[in-house]
């Protein structure tokens, strides 16, 4: 068997890359054999993995969906695509979580922030220098759609208060709290436990500085409610937020949301 653009194909003796391209992607002009560029005349062998690429031409959203489905397996990808998350705050945590969720093909994301991109954000937040001054919601939408044009995005451009949270986010599968402000972190956790009984939750507390990687943990508060961080490393003078450790926490959050979606850990269904 061969793997050609994530399709499994029968291998015939003497077949070349050019033969495969003629059959599967006639406009291809870049050929990758087992991870390395190769000329069209190369012969393929059983077990080879071949990517046929047309340089400069973007795959259609359908082709991208197919590639994700093939890579993740259809059962898993259907669950991811059927799921929605909301991200509260689009700073170092939120922008990284959103990138991870877009790349795996989440169905829908609500992106919430009221702030604009500032130069001081760029040491950790996933924005570009030419986006300084843009609303984070708009800048992040532009960036995410370049990563995966199939993801459906809804922007919530306001400074959230505790009473807003159930009104705006009670329909999502997983609420991911990435606020900077500890008052809102506490408010969001209370709100989800008391007022959003069907929404799973991944909160955050303590990821500033460059202390030990392995003190960032994912703790179960109650079934379907999780908290990521070391719970002590507060952002402040002498201990700033920096991309590496904030990224560790963000990806704990993203993976926990994925595990909830794929039912690898408990969601909220049993919390009555």
Partner 1 sequence: MNITLNGQPKMLNCIATLSELLEELALNPDTVVIELNTEIIQPDAYDTQTLNEADSLEIIQFVGGG
133 touches 111 (CB < 8 A): no
Q: Is 271 in the site for partner 1 (CB under 8 A)?
A: no
105/148 Cα distance (integer angstroms): 7
257/259 Cα distance (integer angstroms): 5
5 touches 67 (CB < 8 A): yes
63 Cα distance to chain centroid: 19
Q: Is 163 in the site for partner 1 (CB under 8 A)?
A: no
| Closest alpha carbon to 116 in 104, 133, 141 | 133
Binding test (CB under 8 A) with partner 1, winner from 169, 179, 201, 226:
179
172/86 Cα distance (integer angstroms): 7
Sheet architecture: strand order including 217-222: 152-156, 108-112, 84-88, 174-177, 200-204, 225-229, 217-222
Binding test (CB under 8 A) with partner 1, winner from 86, 174, 207, 254:
207
Q: Is 233 in the site for partner 1 (CB under 8 A)?
A: yes
- Residue 271 three-state SS: coil
Specify the residue, 76 or 116, whose C-beta has the smaller distance to partner 1: 116
Binding test (CB under 8 A) with partner 1, winner from 208, 248, 254, 261:
208
Specify the residue, 17 or 189, whose C-beta has the smaller distance to partner 1: 189
85/54 Cα distance (integer angstroms): 33
Q: Is 205 in the site for partner 1 (CB under 8 A)?
A: yes
Residue 11-40 contact track with partner 1, rule CB under 8 A, x = bound: ------------------------------
The CA-based angle 65-111-137, given to 5 degrees, is 105
Binding test (CB under 8 A) with partner 1, winner from 107, 206, 247, 267:
206
Q: Is 164 in the site for partner 1 (CB under 8 A)?
A: no
Pull the structure tokens for residue 115: 């702030």
218 Cβ contact partners less than 8 Å away, ≥ 6 residues apart: 202, 226, 227, 228, 252, 256
Which range touches partner 1 (CB under 8 A), out of 43-51, 134-142, 181-189, 254-262? 181-189
Q: Is 231 in the site for partner 1 (CB under 8 A)?
A: yes
> Which helix (H) or strand (E) covers residue 230, if one does?
none
Q: Is 137 in the site for partner 1 (CB under 8 A)?
A: no
Specify the residue, 234 or 264, whose C-beta has the smaller distance to partner 1: 234
Residue 64-103 contact track with partner 1, rule CB under 8 A, x = bound: -------------------------x-xxxx---------
Binding test (CB under 8 A) with partner 1, winner from 232, 263, 264, 269:
232
Give the interface with partner 1 as residue ranges (CB under 8 A).
89, 91-94, 178-183, 185-186, 189-190, 193-194, 204-208, 221, 227, 231-236, 241, 246
């Amino acid at each position: 068997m061969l793997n050609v653009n994530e399709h499994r194909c029968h291998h015939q003796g003497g077949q070349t890359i050019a033969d495969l391209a003629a059959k599967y992607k006639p406009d291809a002009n870049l050929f990758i054999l087992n991870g390395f560029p190769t000329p069209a005349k190369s012969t393929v062998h059983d077990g080879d993995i071949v990517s046929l690429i047309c340089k400069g031409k973007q795959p259609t959203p359908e082709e991208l969906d197919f590639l994700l489905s093939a890579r993740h397996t259809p059962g898993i990808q259907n669950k991811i695509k059927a799921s929605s998350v909301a991200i509260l705050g689009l700073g170092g945590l939120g922008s990284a979580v959103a990138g991870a969720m877009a790349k795996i093909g989440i169905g829908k994301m609500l992106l919430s922030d009221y702030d604009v991109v500032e130069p001081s954000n760029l040491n950790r937040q996933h924005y570009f220098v030419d986006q300084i001054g843009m609303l984070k919601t708009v800048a992040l939408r532009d960036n995410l759609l370049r990563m995966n044009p199939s993801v459906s995005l809804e922007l919530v451009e306001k400074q959230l208060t505790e009473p807003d949270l159930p009104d705006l986010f009670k329909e999502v599968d997983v609420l991911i709290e990435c606020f900077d402000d500890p008052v809102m972190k506490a408010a969001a956790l209370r709100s989800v436990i008391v007022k959003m009984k069907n929404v799973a939750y991944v909160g955050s507390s303590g990821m500033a500085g460059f202390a030990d990687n392995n003190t960032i943990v994912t703790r179960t508060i109650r079934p379907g409610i999780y908290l990521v961080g070391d719970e002590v490393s507060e952002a402040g003078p002498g201990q700033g937020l920096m991309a590496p450790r904030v990224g560790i926490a963000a990806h704990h959050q993203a993976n926990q949301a994925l595990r909830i979606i794929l039912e690898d850990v408990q969601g909220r269904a049993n919390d009555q």
